[in-house]
Amino acid sequence: MSDHDDISRRRVLGMSAAAGGLAMLGGAGPLLAEKRRRTPAQILGPFYPVVKPLDQDADLTLVVGRSGRAAGQVIHVMGRVLDSKGRPLPGIRIEIWQANTYGRYTHPSDINPAPLDPNFEGFAVLASDSEGRYRFKTVKPGAYPADATGAMRPPHIHFDIAGKVNRVVTQMYFAGEPLNDTDRLLQTAGAKELLIVKLQPPTQDLEADSLLANWDIVLDEG
């Protein structure tokens, strides 16, 4: 056997051993998986609820004890909470708060002249399930004046996601909103595209006139 043949044989055996090792570890896929980028942080904002409502369930379109439904475009927001390796994170606490369809927060410091909606309190608390999934029903928030200059903030929903190790406060925006291009907070966010979600038609199990937003949240570790 020539030296060249011996080297080729050792190379093939080495490749076979490596492949066998990967098979024992469950295949090459997980080892070569692309690291997920962490969801960028955003400011808490001035309208985090001072007094949190008693009704904190995952349906913001209805308020316990009232017969009406919140005004506006109903949307279902759902997704997963993952770590940077793409593994689902169960039991993650998620707080959400937002303006109503008119762009008004249920907050004593909001002096926006837009009307309040008695059937919308704009706050909820939920937790990711055993597979890291979360889901809530709300209305698409309206834009609102950011300051005395009249500059407008685009529609967005605030999130406070708290894991055992990491916490991120952030905001989710909607694709196609012209105000996204001039919003200072969004434009200065790292990887701002990770904060923008596209509204899609509903699945068959949802209201025909509702819209669907799929948005995954990524923490470093969980």
CATH number reported for the structural domain that contains residue 108 in this entry: 2.60.130.10
8 Å CB contact between 28 and 159: no
- pLDDT at residue 9, as a whole number: 44
Start-to-end Cα distance in the chain: 56
> Which pTM value belongs to this model?
0.84
Same domain? For 12 and 73 the reply is no
Task: Looking at the structure, tell me whether residues 97 and 6 fall in a common domain.
Answer: no
Q: Are residues 19 and 41 in the same domain?
A: no
Contact by Cβ (8 Å): 51, 188: no
Identify which has the larger pLDDT, 78 or 20: 78
Regarding whether 110 and 19 lie in a shared domain, the answer is no
CA 197, 199, 204, 210 torsion-angle sign: positive
More confident residue, 31 or 126: 126
Residues 72 and 159 in one domain: yes
Looking at the fold, whether 181 and 126 belong to one and the same domain comes out as yes
Residue 48's domain comprises 36-218
Angle among Cα 111, 145, 79 to the nearest 5 degrees reads 105
Total number of domains in the chain: 2
What is the tens place of the pLDDT at every residue in 112-168? Answer: 999 999 999 899 999 999 999 999 999 999 999 988 787 899 999 999 999 999 999
Enzyme catalytic residues = 105, 144, 153, 156, 158
Name the DSSP letter for residue 60. T
